[in-house]
Amino acid sequence: MKFEEIKNLNTPNKTYSKKEIKKSNKISDIKLINRHGSLAIILMNPHTNGSLRDLSVIVNDGEINCSWVVRITFNNNEWLLSLAPYSNIEKSNIEINVFQTILDKFENYNITGNLHTAFLKSKNKKEIEEVTNYIISIFSKIQIKGIENFEINKKYQTENTTSEYKIIHEFVELQGDKSKLKNIELIKIILENSPTDKEKEDILYLLTRINENKSIDVDLLNSLSTKYCTSKQRLQIAIKFMA
């Protein structure tokens, strides 16, 4: 395939502004719920947030609500992990410094929060999974005093799981004009550096989706560009197509 053939790009699919993302705060935007003891883990559909306050009070084991919730979202090519207690609980009953507990373990990660909450922003899904599994190891065993006094919602009764947490779903980002041009530049360099037959097949598939104004697997493109493009090349392309 010649790159001269892909210069005339079509109008890209609609991208998602922060304002539009915030409008989608419905429980119906949940993609998957897992429960690990007293901890609920809620993965949201791409480009939605879901109200952390609303999500914190729904998951239960059929008898008692979860004391904690992790909400995981994917917006604008970035993951956000949010950890919070059951929103209606008496905060004086929380005996752990949530933020410090997470920060002490992951001081090199982009961790923010306060006494009762912690947040992690990352473009790396593996970081989100790593921190989530650490949270499970601690917060799944912590039941906050008074949680037994709240009614449960049978609709969100969830079986317990003890398996390692992984995000198995493919989360991709829709492409704007500059993102498309940037990704095409990266693909050109990758193809010039003799990728394997399987990698070439993958990268040409990504290119086809870009030309069709469809979402792409950003993790795959990032992995291949890291392998076949130098740091200088990636930086130059990033600056060239900076939003």
Residue 170 pLDDT = 66
Does a structural domain hold residue 163? no
Asked if residue 27 and residue 96 are part of one domain, the reply reads yes
pLDDT reading at 47 higher than 80? no
200-241 pLDDT per residue, tens: 999 999 888 888 777 788 889 999 999 999 999 999 888 887
Q: What is the pLDDT of residues 80-92, one digit of tens each?
A: 999 999 999 999 9
Same domain, 147 and 192: no
Shared domain for 47 and 131, answered yes or no, is yes
Q: Is the domain of 129 the same as that of 142?
A: yes
Do 128 and 186 belong together in one domain? no
Domain count, the chain: 2
> Which of 156, 189, 215 marks a domain boundary?
156
Position with higher pLDDT, 178 vs 132: 132
pLDDT 10s digits, 90-117: 999 999 999 999 999 999 999 999 999 9
| Average per-residue pLDDT for the chain | 85
Nearest to 113 by CA among 144, 134, 143, 84: 84
Q: Which domain holds residue 141?
A: 18-156
Let me know if residue 136 belongs to a domain.
yes
Given a cut of 50, whether residue 79 has pLDDT beyond it is: yes
193 part of a folded domain: yes
Flag whether pLDDT at 24 surpasses 60: no
